[in-house]
Amino acid sequence: MVLELLQSGYGERKDLNCSESILYAANSAYKLGLSERALKLSSGFGRGMAIEITCGVLTGAVMVLGLLTVDTVAHQSFEVKFLTKELIERFEAALGDIECINLVPRYRTLENKCNPLIFKAAEILDDIVIREKLLERYRSGDE
């Protein structure tokens, strides 16, 4: 799904930052129906919100989880908090950190850019979305 799309070069062909890569790919793979204008919401989250704090792949993935789990506002959804926590904990366990300032020196290269980070976040996001049947529930809410 998202992982396969990104591994095929989707984000690179579009020259997306890490956060955009996750959100744009999820929009395409999951058929979320987000407009080009809405997708721009992720633009400021790349490179750890430009100050190398929380990795942009996580902020992009959290946006997807929010869209798929929140009906009206986050305060009414324990699920978004639970799944966000899981996403971040799994990412940190796999890569050793969540902060861009610490991840980039270890994983970013000129050749691969931030692909190891992007791919890991996409893998975890896909796993959560599939396991929790979030797409089926999201689509049934549109009817």
| pLDDT surpasses 50 at 143 | no
Instruction: Give domain limits for the chain.
Output: 2-141
pTM of the model: 0.94
User: Which carries the bigger pLDDT value, residue 10 or residue 11?
Assistant: 10
Cα–Cα dist 65/59, whole Å: 10
pLDDT digits (tens, 9 = 90+) for 57-116: 999 999 999 999 998 888 888 899 999 999 999 999 999 999 999 999 999 999 999 999
Q: What percent of the chain has pLDDT over 90?
A: 83
Q: Of 20-24, 50-54, 81-85, 136-140, where does mean pLDDT reach its minimum?
A: 136-140
